[in-house]
C-alpha cells in the first residue's frame, strides 16, 4: 500500500468540498481559530511518516486527551477503574447529564465529559503533581518534549464551563468524586487544553497500533490486552453520539475532539490524525470524517 500517494489524492479531493460544519463556539477561544485549517498526518509501524496541508499546525486536542488520561489512570489503578466508569456507548451527547441520575453517578464510558471528569478525579487522587506528572507521561510516550497545555484555552473553558461544573457536582452528590470539584475541574480543563499537531498526534498514538508498545523504544506503555481494550472503547464510544456512524463509514477505532481533530488507529498498521476545525452537528470534524471515510474506502483497509 502506498500511503503517500493515497493521502495526496484523498487530501486534494476533500480539500475542496463544501465545508458544511460550524466552529465550536461554546469555548470562546476555539472560535478564534482559522476555519480553513486542514491537515493530515500518518505514522505507520513500518516507519512511513507523511503529512499533507497544515500537519504541523498545533490545535487544541480537547476530548482526544480523554484517551491519554484514561490510559494513565488504567496504568495506575488497573481494572479497578471499571468500578468507577462503564464501557458502554451512551447514545447521548458528550456533555449530557441525563443518564447519571439513573446510573447513580457512574458515567457510561470514559469518553463522555462525565467519564473523563471521573478519570481526572482518579488521577488527582493518585498523582503527586497531577498537572506536571500527566504532561510528563504524555511527553514520554513519543519522546516529544514540545507538548504543552494552553493556559488561554483552559481559562477560556473555565470561564464558561457551567455544564462541566454541573456534571462534577452531580457526580460528587452520589459520592463518586473523591476530591474537591473545583480541583477536579481545574485539572480536567488543563487536560483538555493540550495542544498538538497532526504529526505529533499520529506519532504519539502509534503505540495503540503496536499492541501497546512504544514504537521508538519498544517499551510497554500498556499491556497487549489493555491496548486492545482502549481500541475497543475508541471504536464503540470515540465519536460522541456518532460512534456507530464512524464505525460504519470509516471502520477504525478513533477519537475526536471539539477542536476539530481526529485520531484513528489501524491495529498493526498505522495511526492517522486529521484536523479541520468546522464540526458537524454531532461535534465531529466535518472534513476530518469525510477524509477518513474516503481514505479507508480507497485503501480497502479497515478492521472489518
Ligand atoms: N473540554 C471540552 C468540554 O468539556 C471537551 C469536549 C470535546 O472535545 O468533546 O466540553
d(CA 161, CA 55): 29
The share of the chain scoring above pLDDT 90, in percent, equals 93
223 φ, ψ (degrees, to nearest 5): -70, 165
Sign of torsion, CA 286 288 292 294? positive
Nearest CA owner, ligand 1 atom 4 = 113
Length of the chain measured in residues: 304
d(CA 194, CA 212): 22
Helix, strand or coil, per DSSP, at residue 221: coil
What's the gap in Å between 62 CA and the centre of ligand 1? 5
The pLDDT, as a whole number, for residue 231 is 98
264 φ, ψ (degrees, to nearest 5): -135, 145
pLDDT in tens, 277-288: 999 999 999 999
d(CA 248, CA 252): 9
| Mean pLDDT score across all residues of the chain | 96
More confident residue, 1 or 50: 50
| Grid cell at residue 272 | 492517522
Q: Do 14 and 291 form a contact (C-beta atoms < 8 A)? A: yes
The best mutation among 27, 28, 94 to test binding of ligand 1, ranked by most ligand atoms within 8 Å of the C-beta, falls on: 94
Task: Examine the pLDDT at 1 and tell me if it is beyond 80.
Answer: no
Q: Is the CB of 157 under 6 A from ligand 1?
A: yes
The best mutation among 60, 62, 242 to test binding of ligand 1, ranked by most ligand atoms within 8 Å of the C-beta, falls on: 62
The pLDDT, as a whole number, for residue 127 is 98
Q: Which residue carries 475541574 as its cell?
A: 185
pLDDT in tens, 236-272: 999 989 999 999 999 999 999 999 999 999 999 999 9
| Grid cell at residue 90 | 451512551
Domains and CATH numbers, the chain: 3-62+196-299 (3.40.710.10), 63-192 (3.40.710.10)
Task: Examine the pLDDT at 301 and tell me if it is beyond 90.
Answer: no
pTM, to two decimals: 0.97
d(CA 134, CA 116): 14
d(CA 186, CA 277): 24
Task: Examine the pLDDT at 304 and tell me if it is beyond 90.
Answer: no
pLDDT in tens, 6-64: 999 999 999 999 998 899 989 999 999 999 999 999 999 999 999 999 999 999 999 99
Q: Is the CB of 95 under 6 A from ligand 1?
A: yes
The pLDDT, as a whole number, for residue 143 is 92
pLDDT category of residue 303 using cuts at 50, 70 and 90: confident
Q: Do 230 and 208 form a contact (C-beta atoms < 8 A)? A: yes
Mean pLDDT, range 170-198, rounded to an integer:
98
Q: Do 212 and 223 form a contact (C-beta atoms < 8 A)? A: yes
Mean pLDDT, range 95-101, rounded to an integer:
94
Q: Is the CB of 63 under 6 A from ligand 1?
A: yes
Mean pLDDT, range 117-136, rounded to an integer:
98
Q: Is the CB of 193 under 6 A from ligand 1?
A: no
Q: Is the CB of 74 under 6 A from ligand 1?
A: no
How distant, in Å, are the alpha carbons of 256, 265, 295 from that of 269? 20, 8, 14
Q: Do 302 and 252 form a contact (C-beta atoms < 8 A)? A: yes
pLDDT in tens, 191-220: 999 999 999 999 999 999 999 999 988 999
Q: Is the CB of 198 under 6 A from ligand 1?
A: no
Q: Is the CB of 44 under 6 A from ligand 1?
A: no
Amino acid at each position: 500500500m502506498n500511503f503517500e500517494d493515497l493521502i495526496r489524492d484523498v487530501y486534494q479531493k476533500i480539500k475542496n468540498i463544501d465545508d458544511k460544519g460550524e466552529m465550536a463556539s461554546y469555548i470562546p477561544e476555539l472560535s478564534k481559530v482559522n476555519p480553513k485549517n486542514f491537515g493530515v498526518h500518518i505514522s505507520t509501524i513500518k516507519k512511513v511518516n507523511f503529512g499533507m496541508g497544515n500537519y504541523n499546525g498545533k490545535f487544541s486536542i480537547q476530548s482526544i486527551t480523554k484517551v491519554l488520561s484514561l490510559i494513565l489512570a488504567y496504568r495506575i489503578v488497573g481494572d479497578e477503574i471499571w468500578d468507577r466508569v462503564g464501557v458502554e456507548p451512551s447514545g447521548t451527547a458528550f456533555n449530557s447529564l441525563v443518564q447519571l441520575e439513573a446510573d447513580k453517578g457512574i458515567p457510561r464510558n470514559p469518553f463522555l465529559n462525565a467519564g473523563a471528569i471521573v478519570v481526572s478525579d482518579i488521577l488527582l487522587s493518585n498523582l503527586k503533581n497531577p498537572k506536571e506528572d500527566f504532561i510528563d507521561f504524555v511527553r514520554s510516550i513519543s519522546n516529544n518534549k514540545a507538548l504543552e497545555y494552553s493556559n488561554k484555552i483552559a481559562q477560556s473553558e473555565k470561564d464558561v464551563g457551567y455544564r462541566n461544573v454541573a456534571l462534577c457536582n452531580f457526580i460528587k452528590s452520589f459520592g463518586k468524586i473523591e476530591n474537591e470539584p473545583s480541583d477536579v475541574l481545574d485539572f480536567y480543563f488543563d487536560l483538555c487544553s493540550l495542544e498538538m499537531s497532526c504529526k505529533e498526534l499520529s506519532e504519539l498514538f502509534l503505540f495503540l497500533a503496536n499492541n501497546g508498545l512504544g514504537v521508538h523504544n519498544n517499551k510497554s506503555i500498556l499491556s497487549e490486552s489493555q491496548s486492545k481494550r482502549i481500541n475497543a472503547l475508541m471504536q464503540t464510544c470515540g465519536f460522541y453520539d456518532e460512534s456507530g456512524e464512524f464505525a460504519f463509514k470509516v471502520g477504525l477505532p478513533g477519537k475526536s475532539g471539539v477542536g476539530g481533530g481526529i485520531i484513528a488507529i489501524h491495529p498493526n498498521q498505522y495511526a492517522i490524525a486529521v484536523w479541520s476545525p468546522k464540526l458537524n452537528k454531532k461535534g465531529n470534524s466535518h472534513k476530518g470524517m469525510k477524509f477518513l471515510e474516503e481514505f479507508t474506502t480507497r485503501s480497502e483497509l479497515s478492521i472489518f
